[in-house]
Amino acid sequence: MSISLRSVNKSFGGLQAVKDLTFNLKPGFVTGLVGPNGAGKTTIFNLVSGFLRPDSGTVEFKGTCLNSLPPQRIVKKGIARSFQDLRLFEQMTVLDNIMVAFQNQPGENLSQVFFRPWSVGRVETENLKLAESYLEKVGLLGKKDTTVGDLSYGEQKLLVIVRLLATNAECVLLDEPMSGVDEKTRDVIIDLVRNVASQGRTVCLIEHNIDIVTKACDWLLFLDQGTLLSEGTPKQIISDSHLTEIYFGH
């Protein structure tokens, strides 16, 4: 398993956001977290990515406990996530937003810059080509020198996904990646997400639109009030009248 939660609990004052939660996220699958508002979905992402620590239980990545690790250490271990607020560098260009996402660049090390400039230049050239290839996939190559603040909202959403791909993370967590975008952009994002999973990487997304969930996901975890009520294929979950009543009835 890639990501495992074991008997995880998290409370905020008198509110228990996650209750005795146990599940696995598998490599090669797109797993969706679904459920009504307040189900604990974003809290789970925060626990996995180190922005919160569980009160009890364990969060593991490939057998390593993440409970006490800060977010920057977790990123280096191979887990990347997006946020509902896009967190792009709006005053930088599209291309520069991708370039800063590459991990362990030799140009970040002063000794490498001074003593192995040829190596720094070679890696930078390789990263530049890779960044441009990512942008070409989503139709943004022609805007690589555009300031991010001048992009449309849908284009910024695409850039968020591309920047996550540039981290080469083994596990990608996407918080509502398709909210607020048109159908064409949504389909591009779904194709990207499916492609990432096809490479054997672990993908988990939070999404409220049932049509999107059905197209994008292989497996669903249905949550309510911090508890895992059920899991299964999108068809199995959507055909359960009890779950759909909870989902649409809140």
Per-residue pLDDT tens over the stretch 202-240: 999 998 888 899 999 999 999 999 999 999 999 999 899
Judge whether 66 and 50 are in contact, CB under 8 Å: yes
Strand partners, 4: 24, 60
Q: 164: closest CA among 49, 61, 53? A: 49
Tell me the CATH class for 1-78+170-250.
alpha beta
Q: For the purposes of burial, counting CB atoms within 10 Å of the CB of 60, is it exposed (0-12), middle (13-18) or buried (19 or more)?
A: middle
Strand partners, 231: 221
Q: Report d(CA 234, CA 238) in Å as an integer.
A: 6
Mean pLDDT, all residues of the chain:
87
What lies within 8 Å, CB to CB, of 7 at 6+ separation is 20, 21, 22, 56, 57, 58
pLDDT for residue 180: 85
pTM of the model: 0.84
pLDDT for residue 43: 96
- CATH 3.40.50.300 residue ranges in the chain? 1-78+170-250
How does pLDDT run across 104-153, given as a tens digit for each residue? 544 444 444 444 554 555 657 887 888 888 898 888 999 999 999 999 99
Q: What number of H helices and E strands is found in the chain?
A: 10, 10
Three-state secondary-structure class, residue 250: coil
Share of the chain above pLDDT 70, in %: 90
Question: Any idea of the CA torsion for 105, 107, 113, 115, to the nearest 10 degrees?
Answer: 0
Q: 176: closest CA among 105, 240, 243, 85? A: 85
pLDDT for residue 128: 86
